[in-house]
Amino acid sequence: MPDTSQTTYTGYHGCPENAVASIMAEGFKCSVGSEHYKWLGEGAYYFTAGISDPKQDAVRWCIAESYNPDTGGKKYVRYAVLSATIRPQKLLNMTTDQGKSLLNHARESIIASLSSSFPRKKYDDSQLIRYIVNRMRFDAFLDDLWIKFKRERIDRIFSNRPNVRVICVFKPKTVVDISSITVVDKGSIP
C-alpha cells in the first residue's frame, strides 16, 4: 500500500555548482551506475526533513562527494544545494511499519523464488527496491539511511543506524515540480 499521509515533501539536492543551470532548465535526472546511488536504486536523491537538517545534509554530501579517491584531489571546487517540491503519487514509505512490512514480504518472496526465477548472484537492497518499484509502480521511496559524509569516510566510521532521511524519486519529471527548484546554498569546497 502506498503512503498517503503526506503528499508533498521539500527535498534538498546537493550537486556541483556547474550542474545548476542544467537542473534549473531541464529538471533533475536519475543517477545511475555509481555505487553511491545504490542506496535505494537508480533515481534522483533528496535529503528531506525527519531526523536531521536536510539542507545541511546536502552540503555535507557535496563536500564528501567532491573528493576524488583516484587522484586524491577534488572532482569539483564549488557546490550548490537546490530545494524542490516533491509530490509523489505512490510513495513507499520505509519510515513506517507498513512500508517495512511490505519490503520484508517482497524480500521473502524473492528469496523463495531464487532457485527458479532469479540467476544466482549477489543481491542487495537496491535490487530488492527496484523489484518492488517495478511490480507495484511506486514513483518514490522514503527511508532513513546511514550516509557516510566526509568525517565518517576519513575516520572509517560505520553504522547501521540512520543519520538522514532521503527520498528517492524514480521519475523526477513527473514527481518534482520544476518551477519550485531554487538554489538555497552554494559555496566553496573546503
Please choose, from the candidates 133, 127, 49, the residue with its C-alpha nearest in 3D space to the C-alpha of residue 99. Answer: 133
Phi then psi for 123, rounded to 5 degrees? -115, 145
In a domain, residue 1? The reply is no
In a domain, residue 100? The reply is yes
Dihedral sign from CA coordinates of 59, 64, 65, 68: positive
Q: Average of pLDDT values for 162-182?
A: 94
In a domain, residue 162? The reply is yes
Q: pLDDT value at position 180?
A: 97
**Residue entry with cell 559555496:** 187
In a domain, residue 2? The reply is no
Instruction: Kindly tell me if the per-residue pLDDT of 22 is higher than 90.
Output: yes
Lowest mean pLDDT among 1-5, 95-99, 158-162: 1-5
Q: pLDDT value at position 53?
A: 97
In a domain, residue 33? The reply is yes
In a domain, residue 58? The reply is yes
Q: pLDDT value at position 18?
A: 96
In a domain, residue 166? The reply is yes
In a domain, residue 3? The reply is no
Instruction: Kindly tell me if the per-residue pLDDT of 5 is higher than 80.
Output: no
CATH number of residue 107's parent domain: 3.90.175
Mean pLDDT, the chain, rounded, equals 86
Joined together, the cell numbers standing for residue 46 give 533528496
How many folded domains does the chain comprise? Answer: 1
Joined together, the cell numbers standing for residue 38 give 545504490
Instruction: Kindly tell me if the per-residue pLDDT of 148 is higher than 90.
Output: no
User: Domain of 162?
Assistant: 9-188
Q: pLDDT value at position 57?
A: 96
Q: Does this model's pTM top 0.95?
A: no
Please choose, from the candidates 107, 136, 112, 134, the residue with its C-alpha nearest in 3D space to the C-alpha of residue 123. Answer: 107
Cα separation of the two ends of the chain: 44
Segment 55-100, tens digit of pLDDT: 999 999 999 989 888 888 899 999 999 999 999 999 989 999 998 9
Instruction: Kindly tell me if the per-residue pLDDT of 124 is higher than 90.
Output: no
